[in-house]
Amino acid sequence: MSLIDSLKQNYQVVGATAPYPTPQNLRELRGLLRQACLNRSVHQDLPYYCNWYSEYLTKVHNDENRSMSKTRGKARRMWAEQSLVYQDLIQLLSELSTELPGRDWGRLEEATDSLFELVDELLEAVQEMQDWTVSEEPRCLKCGWNGATGHCPHCQVQVLKPVRTFATQVNSYVTLAPHQSVVFTNLLSVLEGERDVSVLKAPLQKLASVYQDSLRELESAQHLEIARTGQENIYDALAGVSQMLRVFEDSDAQHLEDGWSMIFQADRANLAAVEEVNSGAGAVAAAYEIIRDQISLSNE
């Protein structure tokens, strides 16, 4: 993840004057602040460094938030907590950059102590996130329990391998068709660890049946481009259903994320196809109605 790489790498702060040491990471910066408090002396570059890191962390946080805020389940909860630490760090460093020249040592010592704690919290949170998102060990998606049995005794749900890669591009705020909406609602509850994965089986089977019915209805209009396009997209959606059902074979929640992405994008492709077609002609109108009903943006 770019966040982890950014925090662990060394980065050169430009614009400071030599020979004062340039802090290559947050640990070095807090060390310089501690030294300043002990020596009762503030180098002219130290406020600059605090401001530079405040601005840098703001950029990193904003970049990460664009993707991490669209994740689901425990990863999203972990990011929400990590984001709060980020914001506290950014604010504290910004305040230090303006307060250092005043040499209020009582306040500066208190702020430096807070900085030590926040940096440790952030690095721990980053490591926890990394461990969660790269692990393929089955666990409860709510509390993280990973005991010997297949069900969490605390949350009463089947343990699953967590999602490692989120399809954040499928988080557009659209109203889903009824059967897709049921699948998505249950998907969210499963990835949050609120419900057992078994609640997805029936809705997925029903959605597959709806797609199969649409395919059969489109067979008589295969000579039309919209019908052929619709069939291709429905086949892609059915592949997504099959992908999601693989979770019942190996307990890997990544199949749920990947399969939903396939379904979502296939339905969006059919929606785009329908919006481009003039539904006036009779045969075209029939195919148009079949596809439109299957991906209807109404939940009624």
Judge whether 153 lies within some domain: no
Judge whether 151 lies within some domain: no
- Alpha helix locations (H) across 136-276? 178-191, 201-218, 225-245, 247-250, 254-276
Judge whether 159 lies within some domain: no
According to the model, what pLDDT value does residue 69 have? 76
Residues 120 and 34 reside in one and the same domain:
yes
Inform me whether the pLDDT recorded for 184 exceeds 50: yes
158-171 pLDDT, tens digit each:
999 998 888 765 55
- Please say which residue of 90, 116, 134 terminates a domain: 134
- pTM beyond 0.75: the answer is no
Inform me whether the pLDDT recorded for 189 exceeds 70: yes
Residues 105 and 173 reside in one and the same domain:
no
Residues 240 and 176 reside in one and the same domain:
yes
Residues 257 and 208 reside in one and the same domain:
yes
Q: Residues 98, 55: contact at Cβ < 8 Å?
A: no
Percent of the chain having pLDDT more than 90?
53
Inform me whether the pLDDT recorded for 237 exceeds 90: yes
240-256 pLDDT, tens digit each:
999 999 999 999 999 99
* Higher-pLDDT residue of 245, 287: 245
Judge whether 119 lies within some domain: yes
According to the model, what pLDDT value does residue 286 have? 52
Judge whether 177 lies within some domain: yes
Inform me whether the pLDDT recorded for 4 exceeds 80: no
According to the model, what pLDDT value does residue 168 have? 62
Judge whether 154 lies within some domain: no
Residue 50 in tokens: 């605090």
Residues 283 and 202 reside in one and the same domain:
yes
- Please say which residue of 134, 159, 189 terminates a domain: 134
According to the model, what pLDDT value does residue 282 have? 45
Percent of the chain having pLDDT more than 70?
82
Per-residue pLDDT band for 294 (boundaries 50, 70, 90) equals low
Residues 112 and 24 reside in one and the same domain:
yes
Counted domains in the chain: 2
CATH of residue 120: 1.20.120
Domain extent, residue 118, equals 2-134
d(CA 212, CA 28): 61
CATH of residue 271: 1.20.140
- Please say which residue of 109, 134, 159 terminates a domain: 134
Greatest CA separation found in the chain?
Answer: 86
Number of Cβ within 10 Å of residue 86's Cβ equals 24
Judge whether 157 lies within some domain: no
According to the model, what pLDDT value does residue 172 have? 54
Per-residue pLDDT band for 117 (boundaries 50, 70, 90) equals very high
Residues 186 and 129 reside in one and the same domain:
no
Of the segments 6-15, 105-114, 163-172, 269-278, which one has the largest average pLDDT value?
105-114
Q: How many whole angstroms from its chain centre is CA 212?
A: 32
Residues 183 and 281 reside in one and the same domain:
yes
Judge whether 76 lies within some domain: yes
